Structure 1
Amino acid sequence: MSDPEQHEQVPGQGPRTKYLSVRQAAFIGVGAMVGAGIFALLGAAGELAGAAVWLSFLIAGVIAVLQGYSFAKLGARYPSAGGLLEYVAEGFGLGHATGITAWLTYLANAVVTAMVAVSFGNYASSMAAGGDAAWAKAFAALIIIVMTAVNIVGSQLVAHAQTVIVYVVVGILTVFAVVTLANMNPSLLAFSGYPAWPEIISSVALTFFAFLGFGIITFTAKDLARPDRQLPRAMYLALGIATVIYIAIALGVFGTLTVDEVISSGGTALAVAAEPTLGRAGYWLMCVTALFATAGATNAGLYPAAGLSERLVETGLFPPLMARKAGGRVVAGLLVEAAVCLVLAVAFKLEAIASIGSAVALLIFVLITAAHFRVRKETGASPAILGLAITAAGAVLVTFVFTTLIHEVASLVTLLVILAVSVGLDFAWHGRRGGRTGSPSATRGR
């Protein structure tokens, strides 16, 4: 981020520095969104929406903007380290609804991280082992273990390097989009080849997965001079940039390759699409870019586990065990999340993990916006827009479950298990502790 730090004179104090600009906050969100999702999901989305994946990204972007409106209003009113879960607690208190959502969010984060790790494994295997499936699983497990170690060490060098990687990845994706769009075959994108609307709507659950990082922007609220004005602008700017890039890439890929070619290339669709225009060098360039993007996303996915666990223990939503530190350094919540990631990465295919993650994420966003509805007078949010956000996300989730997920027995069972485990863990801990009341406000400043 190259913008100079903003300065603001606070009455009775010296000038305060280190405020983020709107562009800086927006680019944090862009970095969290653009990268791993687009590398991993084109093949899976193509199985449902065919060449209409670009339209799926457009619809997903609209849904993300509706959720972004809700999150921006919440973040401006409740700037907190608790992030999205803080918003649920403000709306529902510290009862079962918030507790179950907390466990869902914790497990969903593991699902998302496992998915990008599997994407890393696919690209690494395509480069080093001819695409062998066993090696892909081995590489996926390896990147989870390595990034868990990085999070334990807490290397500042890696944190700075990841910032640079984000800019490089976004830059290369932009070049890729421009080159493929300039050389695409429009006939491959003909409307006559599009599937029926239920299939396109169902695919939105997968393409929406690529927007999940926008929630990170809410954590910048406390670092903005005027979060009530700047946070919404940053949110919409980030979502606008991501949506344009995703649509351009989808048009470029499906305008270069047939739907069958995209599907058969699986998680390496971008690299395969780069080859006709840029040659073998383009294939390798996109593979290396994907490795950086997915490795960084795996690191970013594991990063919140320790802090989130400690915050949820502080509010009484998680048992103290989750915040205990082995050797005075390693938070148990991080190790548990890494273990769940390893199981998912080794046991499931990328498409199945994406299905599970998308369904859980949509459910969590519906719950967050429903909580927002209860405190809408405090945030000044429009009830009509909040209602539309809940309806849109809920409709996509229901369509996805009954048109796609119902045919993926293992994914559906795993989704139900995640829901059951989240409910069971909350009720078990809630009952043992004798109940929780109040809001997170009571624990702030401890």
Structure 2
Amino acid sequence: MTEEKADQHPQGKLGPVRVWALAAGGMVGGGIYIALGVVIAVAAQWSWLSFVIAGIIAVTTTYSYATLANHFEGSGGAFDFLENMDREGAAGSLSWLLIIGYTLTIAVYAFAFGHYVSYALGGDALTIRILALAAGFGLIALNLIGIGKMTAVEVVIVSANLLVLIALGIAGVCYWDTTELVAGISPRGIWAAPIGAASIFVSYEGFQLLTYEYDKIKEPKKQLTPVLVSAAVFVVLVYVLVALGATMLAGALTIVDEKQVALSIAAENLAGPAGLVIMTIAAAFATAAAINSTLYSTGKLAARVARDGELPPWFDHRNRFDVPDRPIMVIGTIATLLAILGSLSSLVEAASLVFLVTFVIVNFICWREVNHLRWIPILGMIIAAPVGLLLVARLLLTAPFPLLLLAALSMFAVFGRPAILRRLGEGGAT
């Protein structure tokens, strides 16, 4: 069934339970599996507060995304919002930046898949790369034959994943010992919490993918905002619980040193081989589902942007399964290569910066375009601005090359994009 036909049948509409599950799963997907060690390395005993700070920004942005989707009644997310404001040039530039962010996120998920499965199998570095390649190219293939959006399967995977993470968090908290929060590492002052928050926005992206499915959601005017916001709040609570519980089980130093597989080690310490098997299965399915849905949605976004003249028309192509095959192949291949070549911290923090910038922009648009509850997007911007500056400063000190590359790509999206589109005869807006 094509997207157009699905939209015409009530049976194809997503109800509030599925939207909630997909939003929560889009955020939890693979981010927590690799972000925990990154944030503990920065914020130590204040890592839970880092998740709260980043979570407040994510919740306010969730509200802004849902409110704007209802306001404009469109399925293009931030790209659609700006187009409706007659800011085609800005919409094109932001869409390129978002596609970069989603590509980095898919790379993070493939990275996590390779490491978690390899750890359970006792594999080496080559095994990790082979598994990441298999996940990336395997899910490209599934998308190309029209199995890119398996809603019912995703809901089951999301539910099981959330149950495993919550169980781990609760079990860990039952072994409460505050010394484990800094075991083997230096304690940090509370000032470290916003620095840690700056590094983990990749753990909160995902909810916005639901706005790309706006036309498939049942009664979006009534359901979308409360459903997405409640899912975001729930995810914040889950992250705080897991951050505390996993650290109690494994200790801060182990979480940092083994950040690629931190939750597997925590589960193994809790329940031995059985815990390792359960966590490996949860991580494998969660990261694979996250790759699948993110790749599908990003491919749709790229095709939509190309159709509106802000990407080369080559990307607006569908195969016989009615799938935007070219953007899926390009985005998936680049992401898979990044997964086997990039470092964890660089991928996580670069992707986090892209989404943080996008969050600020969407909150600003909501503040400007919507006249009620304007304090919510204002709160998001007030907290996000200093956190963003901290992330830039951190990247300058610890990973200048990814930051400079990201800055160059952003400049290219703003200034190079119109020139390319003009040359191709598409008349991209400046």
Give the alignment's TM-score, normalised by structure 1.
0.86
Partner of 1:94: 88
**Local SS of the residue matching 2:250:** coil
Correspondence for 1:195 among 171, 184, 188 = 188
Q: 1:92 to 1:134 in 2, by over 3 A?
A: farther
How far off its partner does 1:121 sit?
0.9
Q: CA deviation at 1:247?
A: 0.7
The residue aligned with 2:6 is none
CA 162–65 in structure 1, closer or farther in 2 if over 3 Å, else same: closer
For structure 1, which segment, 106-115 or 399-408, has the greater mean C-alpha deviation from structure 2 after superposition?
399-408
Deviation at residue 20 of structure 1 after TM alignment: 4.7
Q: Give yes or no for the alignment of 1:216 onto 2:209.
A: yes
1:123 aligned residue (116, 123, 131): 116
Q: Is the 8 A contact 1:103 1:422 kept in 2?
A: yes
- Which of residues 377, 392, 402 is equivalent to 1:401? 392
User: Residue 154 of structure 1: SS of its match in structure 2?
Assistant: coil
| 2:24 matched residue in structure 1 | 30
Structure-2 change in CA distance of 1:370 and 1:295 (3 Å): same
Residues 405 and 126 from structure 1, CA distance in 2 versus in 1: closer, same or farther, beyond 3 angstroms? farther
Aligned partners of 1:183 and 1:277 also within 8 Å = no
Alignment check: 8 A CA contact 1:274 1:282 kept: yes
1:348 alignment partner AA = G
Query: How far did residue 310 of structure 1 move?
Result: 2.1
Alignment equivalent of 2:282, drawn from 271, 289, 300: 289
Whole-angstrom CA distance in 2 between matches of 1:292 and 1:50:
29
What residue number does 2:3 align with? none
Q: Go from structure 1 to structure 2 and tell me whether the alpha carbon gap of 1:157 and 1:22 turns closer, same or farther (over 3 Å shift).
A: closer
Deviation at 1:312, TM superposition (A): 1.1
Deviation of the 1:297 alpha carbon: 1.1
Q: CA deviation at 1:360?
A: 1.0
Contact 2:246–2:266 under 8 Å retained in 1: yes
Equivalences for residues 368-383 of structure 1 within 5 A: 368-374=362-368, 376=369, 379-383=370-374
Cα offset, 1:86, TM superposition: 0.7
Structure 2 residue 180 is matched with structure 1 residue 180: no
Does the C-alpha gap of structure 1 residues 408 and 395 become closer, same or farther in structure 2, counting only changes over 3 Å? same
Quick one: distance in 2 between partners of 1:155 and 1:46? 37
* Mapped partners of 1:365, 1:92: distance in 2: 20
Q: Deviations over 1:152-200 (max 9, x none)?
A: 0113895543332122111211222221222232332479964134432
Shift in CA distance, 325/73, structure 1 to aligned 2, threshold 3 Å: closer
Q: In the alignment, is residue 164 of structure 1 matched against residue 156 of structure 2?
A: yes
Question: CA RMSD of the aligned region, Å?
Answer: 2.7
In 2, distance between residues paired with 1:405 and 1:165?
38
Residue type at the aligned position of 1:44: V
The answer to whether 1:414 aligns with 2:408 is no
Partner SS for 1:114: helix
Distance 1:24 1:212 in 2: 18
Q: Which moved more, 1:231-240 or 1:152-161?
A: 152-161
Q: From 195, 198, 209, give the equivalent of 1:205.
A: 198
Partner of 2:38: 44
Counterpart code for 1:324:
H
Aligned letter for 1:150?
L
1:426, 1:157 → 2: CA distance?
A: 30
Q: How does 1:271-282 map to 2 (within 5 A)?
A: 271-282=264-275
Contact in 2 for aligned 1:117/1:295 (Cα 8 Å)? yes
Q: Are 1:352 and 2:346 matched, yes or no?
A: yes
Structure 1 residues 224 and 303: alpha-carbon distance in aligned structure 2, compared to 1, 3 A threshold: closer
Q: Distance in 2 between matches of 1:333 and 1:43?
A: 32
Q: Which residue of 2 aligns with 1:113?
A: 106
Q: Which amino acid aligns with 1:349?
A: S
Number of residues of Structure 1 aligned to a counterpart in Structure 2: 419
Query: In the TM superposition, what is the alpha-carbon distance from 1:94 to its structure 2 partner?
Result: 0.9
CA offsets 1:126-170 (integer angstroms, 9 cap, x no match): 12243x223222221221110000000113895543332122111
Q: CA deviation at 1:232?
A: 1.9
Alignment of 1:44-63 (within 5 A): 44-63=38-57
Shift of residue 282, structure 1, vs aligned partner:
0.7
Larger-Rg structure: 1
Alpha-carbon shift at residue 281 of structure 1 (Å): 1.5
Q: Write the letter of the residue equivalent to 2:377.
A: L
* Distance (Å, rounded) in 1 between the aligned partners of 2:211 and 2:96: 20
Q: Among the aligned pairs, what percent are the same residue?
A: 26
TM-score by length of 2: 0.89
Distance 2:286 2:309 in 1: 35
Deviations 1:52-77 (A, max 9, x none): 21111111111111112211210111
Q: Decide whether aligned partners of structure 1 residues 330 and 427 sit closer, same or farther in structure 2, where only a CA change above 3 A counts.
A: closer
Deviates more, 1:42-51 or 1:385-394: 385-394
In 2, the alpha carbon distance for the partners of 1:115 and 1:146 equals: 16
Residue matched to 2:140: 148
- Matches of 1:159 and 1:26, distance apart in 2: 12
For 1:405 and 1:284, the matched residues in 2 are separated by 39
What is the alpha-carbon distance in structure 2 between the residues aligned to residue 413 and residue 256 of structure 1? 38
Q: For 2:305, which of 293, 312, 328 is the aligned residue?
A: 312
Q: How far apart in 2 are the matches of 1:316 and 1:358? A: 27
Unaligned runs of 5+ in 1: 1-14, 439-446
* CA–CA distance in structure 2, aligned partners of residues 405 and 157 of structure 1: 38
Residue of structure 1 in register with 2:255 after alignment? 262
How far apart, in 1, do the equivalents of 2:318 and 2:211 lie?
A: 28
For 1:367, the equivalent position in structure 2 comes to 361
Unaligned runs of 5+ in 2: 1-8
Partner of 1:12: none
Shift in CA distance, 139/248, structure 1 to aligned 2, threshold 3 Å: same
> Using the alignment, how far apart are the partners of 2:320 and 2:127 within structure 1?
33
Q: Which amino acid aligns with 2:79?
A: L
Deviations 1:382-436 (A, max 9, x none): 4443233223222211111113443212322332233133235422234334745
Q: 363-372 or 272-281: which moved more?
A: 363-372
